[in-house]
Structure 1
């Protein structure tokens, strides 16, 4: 977070010095814009994933789709964005106005998980969906910090727990 400055954004974007501060006058405005952009990119990715993949037919298929998605969050651009998202989440502890921007939103992928759980008669599928996805997110965080990858078996265990 300390490295997020108007000058650093200007340099990274190849803009003349002062351009970013002309549009985003304060550090708070810059941070809010960054968080908003991260959320917009995540929402677009989740909506695209949910539209591309129909409601899973069985727990194994759901685990496979979630494992493939988490793999994208741990490599390349997905890794950079995941690290930025977690840094912003920690910053939201000090700046609560960011929390509302970061709050999980409805999207096609989340709806596919909820529909899967509801079709299997899970009590309170909305709450169970949020819990399952929070657990998957925790695995992503753990692997970003400690290295390694999230396995389909690990995700399968979380899916099985969500179904109980």
Structure 2
């Protein structure tokens, strides 16, 4: 049965991310997903009962694909300094920027979430979990500052990524890296 093939499901979700990023929410149809995935017509509808279910699963898949490497996770659990935080935040901006279509699809999902409560719940829970994880990690690091430091970095870096991916002529990679360093230095008080 098609619905039990996890590789095909991931292929369909990855294709959905591409369609959503390129065509927007209105262009996300089962037919468009099937075409993007290169599968027979009707395949996506065998895996997802409706468009709302597909949107929710796209949100889950986006976050699966952005899981940091083991090396990055080890750095985030090790002793944190302003320099380590700068390195981690730079890696985050680069990782998200490399998955441009994923981030653009996430923006579409966030807009759709204003009209779809289940999607809003999923995204809200996911962002809360990420923030809670990062706040706990930061608190355990012993660095000065607290919850507001993490929230400020989250807000500022999200906007930097948005500009970098939607208006790439504003900040090149070098300037983005400089801005990340400046953000970390200003958000984290000196020892």
TM-score by length of 2: 0.69
Q: How far, CA to CA, are the matches of 2:166 and 2:70 in structure 1?
A: 27
1:68 maps to which residue? 91
Does 1:10 pair with 2:10? no
Change in Cα spacing, 1:60 to 1:153, as seen in structure 2 (3 Å) is farther
RMSD: 2.6
Does residue 46 in structure 1 map to residue 64 in structure 2? no
Pairs within 5 Å for 1:118-133: 119-122=142-145, 125-133=146-154
Specify which of 49, 53, 58 is matched with residue 25 of structure 1.
Answer: 49
Gaps of 5+ in 2: 1-24
The answer (yes or no) to whether the contact 1:114–1:129 under 8 Å persists in 2 is no
The alignment covers a number of residue pairs equal to: 156
Report the equivalent of 2:16.
none
What SS is found at the alignment partner of 2:114? helix
**Greater RCO structure (CA 8 Å; 6+ sep):** 1
Equivalent of 2:104 in 80, 83, 103: 83
Give distance in 2, aligned partners of 1:46 and 1:127.
23
Task: Check whether the contact 1:64–1:152 (CA below 8 A) recurs between aligned residues.
Answer: no
* Partner residue, 2:177: 152
Q: Distance in 2 between matches of 1:72 and 1:151?
A: 13
8 Å Cα contact 2:81/2:143 also seen in 1:
no
